[in-house]
């Protein structure tokens, strides 16, 4: 089960690596700004960026002076990240192929650990979080930025269902309360939380994930036919151009290692 989920991540992101580097949604977002505000990276920081993808978060940390070890388990994403590193001349970022559950870092060595837009792909987020807590020193910061589910279980299940039908490597999105609880269990005292929103357009959303045409139609019908509560929670709206707009809440959560 866990291995299947990880194989699904590798195959999904191996296909997406090239376009990911040019994706405006991923290069910049309100969530990344909030992550940088909460993480407050600086020249004194040894940082680890977990599930770095093509390195956008790692580059933002390095641009503020941090030395960064950036890890990901999809080789194609790291290849693109290395090309971008050369193009940007950011030699203070080192990339390494690794699983979030097994970081190639000694305990208590990092000042800062970040993880953006990836936790919903982890088959065992508690295991990955406890690994992040292991590598950060006492008083160090762990910042996770991810789309998050409503507290209402039925709405959360619906969000997961839509996400999985679009991208089989989606595991689950957690609610803010559940994320807080997981942080605290790992010895990470939550000191700040910022909520933002990810606005999406259906046609772009399914195209990016390579969803086949017949599945697109049923997914679109699912959004437009959802209950009024779901349509309100996910801001579903049929636009004048025929596309459907909707969106997810995004959480940025800072925990300090006790
Ligand atoms: C949406 S992308 C990453 C975005 C990136 N953090 C950023 O800020 O642009 C998700 C990444 O998570 C990686 N990933 C998913 N599960 C992982 C795991 N268990 N260990 C390491 N990387 C993982 C995927 O390979 C993929 O590159």
Mean pLDDT for the stretch of residues 202-211: 92
| pLDDT higher than threshold 70 for residue 24 | no
State the residue range of the domain holding 118.
Answer: 2-151+169-199+248-257
pLDDT in tens, 213-248: 989 999 999 999 999 999 999 999 999 999 999 999
Does residue 88 lie in a domain region?
yes
- 122 alpha carbon to ligand 1 midpoint, in Å? 9
**How many domains does one find in the chain?**
1
Does residue 230 lie in a domain region?
no
Atom number of ligand 1 nearest to Cα 10: 25
- 53 alpha carbon to ligand 1 midpoint, in Å? 5
Does residue 238 lie in a domain region?
no
Burial of 232 (0-12, 13-18, 19+ CB in 10 A): exposed
> Which token pair is 95?
């990339």
Does residue 63 lie in a domain region?
yes
CA-wise closest residue to 126 among 51, 186, 188: 186
% of the chain beyond a pLDDT of 70: 97
Mutate-to-test residue for ligand 1 from 72, 82, 167, highest number of ligand atoms within 8 A of CB: 72
Are the CB atoms for 68 and 58 separated by under 8 Å?
yes
pLDDT at residue 245 in the model? 98
Does residue 36 lie in a domain region?
yes
Mean pLDDT for the stretch of residues 87-94: 90
Mean pLDDT for the stretch of residues 169-191: 98
Look up the CATH number of the domain holding residue 138. 3.40.50.150
The residue count for the chain:
258
Does residue 218 lie in a domain region?
no
pTM here is 0.95
- 203 alpha carbon to ligand 1 midpoint, in Å? 23
Does residue 188 lie in a domain region?
yes
Confidence at 3, pLDDT banded by 50, 70, 90 = confident
pLDDT in tens, 107-134: 999 999 999 999 999 999 999 999 999 9
Mutate-to-test residue for ligand 1 from 9, 15, 35, 59, highest number of ligand atoms within 8 A of CB: 9
Ligand 1 pocket, residues with Cβ under 6 angstroms: 6, 9, 13, 26, 51-53, 56-57, 72-74, 77, 99-100, 116-118, 121-122
Does residue 235 lie in a domain region?
no
């Amino acid at each position: 089960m866990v291995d299947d989920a990880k194989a699904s991540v590798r195959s999904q992101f191996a296909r997406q690596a090239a376009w990911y580097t040019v994706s405006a949604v991923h290069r910049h977002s309100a969530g990344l700004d909030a992550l940088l505000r909460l993480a407050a990276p600086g020249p004194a920081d040894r940082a680890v960026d977990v599930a770095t993808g093509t390195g956008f978060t790692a580059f933002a940390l390095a641009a503020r002076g941090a030395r960064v070890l950036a890890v990901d388990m999809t080789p194609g994403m790291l290849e693109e990240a290395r090309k971008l590193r050369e193009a940007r001349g950011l030699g203070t970022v080192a990339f390494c192929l690794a699983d979030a559950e097994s970081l190639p870092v000694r305990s208590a060595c990092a000042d800062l650990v970040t993880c953006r837009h990836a936790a919903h792909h982890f088959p065992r987020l508690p295991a990955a979080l406890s690994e992040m807590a292991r590598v950060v020193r006492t008083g160090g910061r762990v910042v996770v930025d991810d789309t998050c589910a409503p507290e209402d279980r039925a709405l959360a299940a619906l969000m997961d269902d839509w996400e999985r039908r679009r991208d089989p490597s989606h595991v689950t999105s957690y609610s803010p309360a559940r994320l807080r609880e997981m942080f605290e269990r790992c010895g990470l005292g939550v000191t700040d939380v910022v909520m933002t929103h990810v606005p999406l357009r259906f046609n772009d959303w399914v195209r990016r994930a390579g969803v086949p045409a017949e599945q697109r139609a049923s997914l679109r019908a699912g959004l437009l036919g959802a209950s009024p509560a779901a349509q309100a929670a996910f801001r579903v709206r049929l636009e004048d151009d025929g596309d459907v707009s909707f969106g997810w809440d995004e959480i940025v959560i800072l925990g300090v290692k006790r």
